[in-house]
Each structure stands twice: as C-alpha cells, then as structure tokens.
Amino acid sequence: MNKQQLDHWLQASQKEECEAPKVFVVSCADLSHYSLAVEYKHKLEPILVKDQLAYYSSLESVKEELKKLGLSSAYLRLHNAYDEFGHEGNMIFQDIELHLVS
C-alpha cells in the first residue's frame, strides 16, 4: 500500500469517526532499521514510498512520521530472527503498543 493511500485512509477515518487502521512498525530484534505496515483484511501490507519499502533508521523517526499522519498509537512488531524454526504454535514475533501522544 502506498503511503499516500494510508494518509487518505487515516483522514477518512477521522472525518467519519470510524476506527483507524492498525499500523505496525516492523523490525527484527537484531536490526537497526524499521519499516511500516498496515493491517488490511487480517494481513499486513507494507507501506511503500515511490514503490519502495520505506526504512527508518530509528524508532524516534518512525514515531515522528506516525504523529505527522495523525496517529496516536501504533504497534511495534519485533521478529526474533533466532527462533525461525521454534516450537510449533509459538509466535515468532511480539507486538508492543506504542503510544505516540503523551
């Protein structure tokens, strides 16, 4: 999904006072860059800028970007690269809620 589409979706949800989409900041436990994704039809769709996956170098820069979009919260999805083939039924990621407005 293009970032512009997400922006329109967020603006429409504010005008119509409906629930905003669930936005995720995605990273791996041992990486120092972050990307954005939005939950659409129970799947995560990456956010693209000019048809390229947008990367952010710090969690603070992602938070600033999300604030500009008008979000008050998002979820940090951390993948554990060292547990790819873990036990059956175990999640290989953890979601942590990020509060963007203090």
On whether the pTM is more than 0.75, the answer is: yes
What's the total number of domains in the chain?
A: 1
Q: What is the per-residue pLDDT across 31-67, written as a single tens digit (0 to 9) for each? A: 778 999 999 888 999 999 999 998 899 989 999 999 9
Taking the chain, what is the end-to-end CA distance rounded to the nearest angstrom? 28
CA angle 33, 69, 49 (to 5 degrees): 50
Six-digit token pair at 1?
A: 């999904």
Distance between CA atoms of 57 and 32, rounded to whole angstroms?
Answer: 6
Confidence at residue 32, expressed as pLDDT on a 0 to 100 scale: 79
Range of the domain at 55: 3-99
